[in-house]
Chain A
Amino acid sequence: MLKKHPIITFIFFGFILFLISNRLDELRVYQGATVAVYAIGIASLILLIGYSGQVSLGHGAFLAIGGFAAALARIHYEAPVWLTFVVAVLAAAIAGALLGLAAARLSGPYLAGTTLALAIGLPSIANQFSIFGGEQGISFDIGLPPASLGEDFTQYKWFFWISWTVALITLYWLRNILNSRYGRGWRAVRSNDVAAELAGIHVGRNKVLAFTISAGLAGLAGALLAMTISLASPGVFPLALSFSLATGAVLSGVTTLGGIMIGSVTLVAIPEIALAIANRYGSETITTNLPGLLVSALLILTVLFVPNGPVEQMHAKRAKRGHSSHSPVEISVRVGSKTWSTKK
């Protein structure tokens, strides 16, 4: 039944989260909200890398665009909270469409370099225009939780609820998109663009669409991130954020949404683990450097030994044993004596 009606799984998961959020202390609730933010950010990268075959090393830039757009809409136009999220998605999606037009013509390393350049340069650009508030940034205050939720309903719990509601809806929607005509189109383009084109799939349009949606989702994650910190500033969206998201996507496995919690929970857990180790040995050097070290080491080890992520690895193992329900899309086209196929 769960396979047939995935929405039940999502609602069930949401209910569990609701129960959990009532039992945790403030810090954990805040971290839980961050997990939701990372999940959306990682999902946007999975869509881009795993499905459309384009790579972005600078997705933090789109998060920043979303975060700043939401904060600006809130501060200057006093937009309601849901509208700031819409603004964030639209702003990031427009930026993504513009970059996507260029990206569709680029292959791997060129696109990686271009997006990386964007993520490195964007904060310094934001610093130079007063509308973005310089180093301090601009505050993004969504207000207190509604009074009807009771007196002891804290701000962070409110963030948690909003983040997870948005995340679950987004992931459900994304899951459906990836299983639709568009998702199949993206996978076909990724596997073999010549075969896809011969089968009547418009390669360029598909890539731009994927980039646009991915950027829009990243913008949404950015708005949520700014919300949980109540601030949009260059420091909220550092270069390290882009790297973290790429790490999260690789840890989750870029070919499926199934492992997404692995990546997002790991990203939140690593600083925590580092802190615990640092407390044990009482050193500040460890607190500041260990998270980066762990993230990078995990990233390298994953790429070397479990490149497709743990979930895909499990699928592959099961398929080897002979009971697989996993059948990738295959397109092959024959023209004259030449055959193009998406099958490896």
Chain B
Amino acid sequence: MKQFLDMVLIGISAASIYSLMAISMVLVWRSTRVVNFAQAGMALLSAYIGYELVARVGNFWIALPLAMILGAAFSAFIEFVLMRTLQKHSAQGAIAAIAPIIATLGLLGLIRAGIGFIWGHADVQIEAPLSKVGFTFGDTTIVMSPMGLFVLLFVIELMIIVSIVFQDTNIGLALRASAYAPEIAQLAGIRVSGIRTLGWAIAGAAGAAAGILQTVNGTGALSPESLEFSLLLVFGFIAAVVGGLESLPGAVLGALILGLVLAAVQIYISGALVFIVAFLLLLLVLILRPQGFLGSKAGRRA
């Protein structure tokens, strides 16, 4: 019973961070039809910015939202400079379909090298602001700690904000309209290019939160070659694909499925198999239901 409870708690905690990553990939995909493989790099950069802010301001609670704002600004800047140039020089032939993917790959390399230049290759450490020791009830200690609980609540709160913005505001309507049918949205008077940048900005903020929370909830260490962040990219991508790559609730659902499956593997079988299982899950979903659980059939080709 305790094992099962641990599995659920570990799964949900992991899922909360995967879902932030998945949401940022979905937002970028919806606004520019690009899967941003630099998302983890941008999250890593934001985490470093968070580290710098914590060191200067000395307060994690101020550093977190500040780093998210800076992450959003950086992401919007990338859309403005890189993606728009790419669109202007739209390539022809074999390279056309993959040019944006390759560009995000280059961006990832650029970010890593930049981090290496500024902060060096040695690990830096962000201190967790809350205890990472699990709550104790009587004589049993569960895996959920104050820090983990904060991460979970913070992510849920972010999700509520995002869904309110998307469902109940004009900006949300514009975001949905330009993702659904850019030309028609433009005709209806929406500034689609500005909305695209906004989509990237929100994605950047979500990615920044994912990067910082992942770091403080984990070992607290950051390095430019961090495998943890590469895996974060992979798991965020898998969660987004499982959910359909088009849909925000899908991204959360995908993250929950992935988080729980991986936690089950980790607890009942072996931690060594986590990646293999995640990869098989990705292949399985892509082969059996390529539009994801909540995606529509047309979404895959677009």
- Chain A contact residues, CB within 8 Å of chain B: 49-51, 53, 55, 57, 102, 105-110, 112-114, 116-118, 120-121, 124-125, 128, 190, 239-240, 243, 246-247, 250, 254-255, 285, 288-290, 292-293, 295-297, 299-300, 303-305, 307-308, 312, 344
Contacts and interface: CB of A to CB of B under 8 A. Distances in A.
Contact of B121 (A288, A290, A293): A288
B102 interface: yes
Given A128-B272, A288-B116, A300 B98 contact: no
B282 A114 contact: yes
B113 A289 contact: yes
A114 B110 contact: no
Size category of the binding interface on chain B: 35 or more
16 contacts: A49-B95, A49-B98, A55-B98, A117-B282, A118-B279, A120-B234, A121-B278, A124-B275, A125-B276, A239-B230, A250-B102, A293-B109, A296-B110, A304-B85, A307-B89, A307-B99
B86 to A, nearest CB: 6
A121 B234 contact: yes
A125 B136 CA distance: 35
Interface string B108-130: 11101110110011000000000
B51 to A, nearest CB: 18
A344 B279 CA distance: 36
B92 A303 contact: no
A110 B287 contact: no
A296 B102 CA distance: 10
Interface string B223-238: 0000100110110011
A52 B101 CA distance: 17
A50 to B, nearest CB: 5
A290 B117 CA distance: 8
B116 A243 contact: no
A344 B93 CA distance: 8
Chain A CB count within 10 A is highest, among B97, B106, B245, for B106
A125 B300 CA distance: 30
A254 B95 CA distance: 7
B105 A299 contact: yes
Given A112-B37, A117-B282, A303 B234 contact: no
A296 B113 contact: yes
B80 to A, nearest CB: 14
B269 interface: no
B267 interface: no
Contacts of B278: 117, 121
Contact of B35 (A109, A118, A125, A190): A109
